[in-house]
Amino acid sequence: MLSIRNLKVSIKGKEILKDVNLEVKEGEVHAIMGPNGTGKSTLSYAISGREGYDVEGQIIFKGKNILDLSVEERACEGIFLGFQYPVEIPGVSISNFLRTAMNEQRKYRGLDPISGQEFLAKMEEKKKLLDLPEKLAGRSVNEGFSGGEKKKNEIFQMAMLEPTLSILDETDSGLDIDALRVVATGVNKLRRPDNATIVITHYQRLLDYIVPDFVHVLYDGRIVKSGTKELALELEEKGYEWLKNGI
Amino acid sequence: MAEKRDLVMDVINATNLVQSFSEVFKQQFENTAEDASPFFQNERKKAFQNFEKYGFPQKNMENWRNTDLSKALSENYTLFTSQPDPKLDIDTIFKCNVPHFETLLLSTLNGWYVSNHGALQTLDNGVVYGSMRAAAKEYAPLVEKYFRTALNDSKEGLIHLNTAMMQDGIFIYVPANVSVDKTFQMVSLINTQENVFLNQRNLIILGENSHLRLAQCDESINNGTTFINSVTEIFMDKSSTLDHYKLQNKDDKTTLINSTYFVQQQGSVLNTNAITLNGALVRNYSNVQLLGSHSEANVYGLYLMDKEQHVDNQVFIHHAVPECQSNELFKGVLDDQASAVFNGHILVARDAQQTNAYQTNRNILLTDKAIIDTKPFLEIYADDVKCSHGATIGQLDAEAMFYIRSRGISEASAKIMLMYAFAAEVLNKISIEELRTRMDDMVKKRLRGELSNCEQCVLNCSNKENKKINFAIDMSKI
C-alpha cells in the first residue's frame, strides 16, 4: 500500500530525514518510535504533504507516486493524519467540518455528495462505535476541548472519513490512561484487512493497547532498526541509548 | 418625484466646496419656512458657522490621517433638499436583499423617511417612531431637549454640516419601562441616477428601564456616486438596554460616514456591533459617553474588505463616572489593496475609579498590499482601574490551513473556513438569534464571493471553480 524509498526531507536547508525506507501493507499496523527530534513528525508531514519541506526520493501510495500531490489530494487518495496538536476552529461545527471534508473527498473520487440523512446516520454509527458523547458533533472543531477530547475527536474524524492509511502522530501524548484506552480501542475497532495504520510514539505505553505488527526505530533521520512488537519492549527496558551505542 | 436642487462643485479643493454648500445653505436652509422653529433656525445657523470654521476633514487632522476623503470630495453632488412624493410606496422600488426576519421596517430614501408615507406612528405602548422632521414639529419640547446635546463641542466639520443641513431621518422614542418586542430595522436606501450627497439625522430616545433592539442597514442601489454623512444621537436613560446592529453592504462608489453618539445613564447596557461587508469608503465613528455609574458599553465590529475598499472604525469611550465597564472587539479581514483603520480612544476621567475597559483589534491581511492602521489610545486619569488593549495583525494560520486541508478540504475552502472562524467571535456577540443567523449567512456569502456587491470576493476567487464550495450546510442546526 505504502512504500517509501530513499526519502530525504529537509526544511530550510536542514536535513531532517536522511534516508528512510518503509513498506506498509494492507491490514498492518506499524509503530515508529524514536527519541525526540529524530524526524518522526517530519515523516508524517512528508507523507501527508505538508508544504515547506524539500522532499527527495519516492512515496508510492497504492501504486502512485504522491509527491506531486497537494495535502488535500493526498487526503482524498485516502491518507489521514491524526495530529499531535489538533487545531481549534471556532464557529465551525464538527459535523459541518466533516461533511465538507467528506463531500470534497467524494467529489475527488467522482461520487455524489452524501445526503443529510446518510451523513447523520453515519455519524450516529461512528459515535456509538467509539462510545463518544452525544453532543460532540454540534461543538466547534476542538474549541475549548481538553487534550483527551481533542484526540478522541481525531479518532472520530478518522472513523468518519474511513482512510486507507492512517498516521497517528503522538496520539498518546498528554493523555491519561483512561483517555489512552478510549483512543486505542477506537483505533483497534477501525482496523480492517484493507486499511493500515502507522502509529508514531515516543513511549511503549500506547503499544500495550495498539499492538503493532512491526516496530521501527527512527534515529537521526534513518530507520536504524526494525522488528516485531518485542522490539518496543526491549527499547522500553534498555532505552534509546542502547541503540545509539549500537550505531 | 422629488424636487431637487443641484449643488455643483466644480473645483476640487475644499474651500470651494464649503462655498458651494454655503450658497445652498443660504437658499435652502437658513430662512426656510419648512422648519422655521426658532430653535432649529438657531441650531442650523450656529452649526453652519462651525462647519465653516472646521471645514471638511483633511489628511493633516490626526483622526483623519489614514482616511482620505479628497477623492470623494472632488465629485459633483446633488442635494435632495425636499421630501419625496408622500404617495410613494417604498416597497415598489426596493426589496431588501438582506433576508428579513420579523422586524418593524423604518426606511429612508435618499435621506428622507418614507415608511408609512413619511408619517409618525405611535404604538399602543407609547412608542413613537417615524420621520425626524415630523417629530421636530409634533414633539418639539422632547426633540429640542435632546437634539445635538450628545455632540458636545465636536470639532468635526461634517457633524456640524449635518446639523446645519440635515434633511430628515429617523426618530424613535421608547417610553420608560417599555420593552419593544419587535426589532426595529432602519434601512437607508439610495436610489437615484445622480451623484448624491445626503445629511441624514437620527434621534433615538430610550426611557428609563426600557429595551430596544435596533438593526441599521445601509444598502445601495445607486448608479451614481454617493456621499452619506449620517449622524445618530442615542440617549439611554437609567437601566435601559439597547442592542444595536449596523450592517453595511455598500457599493464601490459610496462614501459612508456614519457617526453615532451614545449617551448612557446609570445602569444602562449598550451592545453595538458594526458589520461592514463592502463599501468604497466606510467610516464608523462611535462616541460612547458613560455618564451614570454601573453602565456598560460593548462595542464590536467586523469588517471584510477587498479591492480598493477602505473601512475606518473610530471608537471613543468616555468613562466619566466610576464603576462602568466597556469592551471593544474589532476584527477584520483585508484582501487585495484594501485598507482599514482602527482608532480606539478610551478616556477615563479622574473620578472614574473602578473602571473596567478592554479593547482588542485583530486583523488578517491576505495580501502584502493590504494595509491596516491600528491605534489604541488609553487616556487614564483615575488610579484604580483595569484597562487593557491589544492589536494583532497576521495571516491565516499555516498550521490550521494544513489541518483543514489534511482532511481533504481544498485550499480555497480552508481559507474561507478560517476566515469565517475568525469572524465568528464577533458574530457570536449578536444576541438576537435570528439576526445572528442572517448575519452569519451574509458573512459566509461574502466570504464565498456571492454577495451582490462583490463580484470578486475576499478570496479573489471570481473563477467559477471556487464557488462550488460545500461549506454552507450547518448540520448542527438540524
pLDDT reported for residue B92: 58
pLDDT reported for residue B170: 96
CB contact under 8 A, B475 and A103: no
Give the position of cell 475552502: B413
| Per-residue confidence in pLDDT tens, chain B, 478 aa | 334 444 443 333 445 777 888 888 887 777 665 566 889 989 999 999 999 999 899 888 888 999 999 888 888 888 877 777 666 666 555 554 445 557 888 988 888 898 887 889 999 999 999 999 999 999 999 999 999 999 988 999 999 999 999 989 999 999 999 999 989 989 888 877 778 888 999 999 999 999 999 999 876 656 678 899 999 999 999 999 999 999 888 777 889 999 999 999 999 999 999 999 888 899 999 999 999 999 999 999 999 999 899 999 999 999 999 999 999 999 999 999 999 999 999 999 999 999 999 999 999 999 999 999 999 999 999 999 999 999 999 988 899 999 999 999 999 999 999 999 999 999 999 988 888 888 888 888 888 877 654 333 233 223 333 333 323 333 232 2
What CA–CA distance (Å, rounded) separates B238 from A48?
60
The C-alpha cell at B466 is 471556487
Q: Which residues of B touch A71 (CB under 8 A)?
A: 402, 405-406
Q: Which residues of B touch A41 (CB under 8 A)?
A: none
- Which residues, 6 or more positions from B432, have their beta carbon under 8 angstroms from its beta carbon? B183, B213, B243, B245
pLDDT reported for residue B453: 40
pLDDT reported for residue B103: 80
All structural domains of chain B with their residue ranges? 403-478
- Which residues, 6 or more positions from A37, have their beta carbon under 8 angstroms from its beta carbon? none
* Best residue of B333, B468, B475, B478 to probe chain A, by most A CBs closer than 10 Å: B475
Identify which of B403, B423, B476 has the shortest CB distance to residue A95: B476
pLDDT reported for residue B225: 83
What CA–CA distance (Å, rounded) separates A179 from A188?
14
CB contact under 8 A, B475 and A161: no
The C-alpha cell at A63 is 501504486
- Give B279 to chain A, closest Cα distance, Å: 25
ipTM of this predicted structure: 0.96
Q: Half-sphere exposure (CA, 13 Å, Cβ side) for B152?
A: 10
Identify which of B399, B411, B421 has the shortest CB distance to residue A92: B421
pLDDT reported for residue B433: 84
Under a CB-based contact definition with an 8 Å cutoff, are residues A221 and A16 in contact? yes
Residue A53 pLDDT class (50, 70, 90 cuts)? very high
What CA–CA distance (Å, rounded) separates A198 from A219?
17
CA proximity to A3, closest of A196, A229, A219: A196
A138 touches chain B (CB under 8 A): yes
pLDDT reported for residue B101: 59
CB contact under 8 A, B402 and A80: no
Give the position of cell 518496543: A232
Residue A172 pLDDT class (50, 70, 90 cuts)? confident
pLDDT reported for residue A247: 53
Q: What is the pLDDT of residues A27-43, one digit of tens each?
A: 999 999 988 888 999 99
pLDDT at A55 over 90: yes
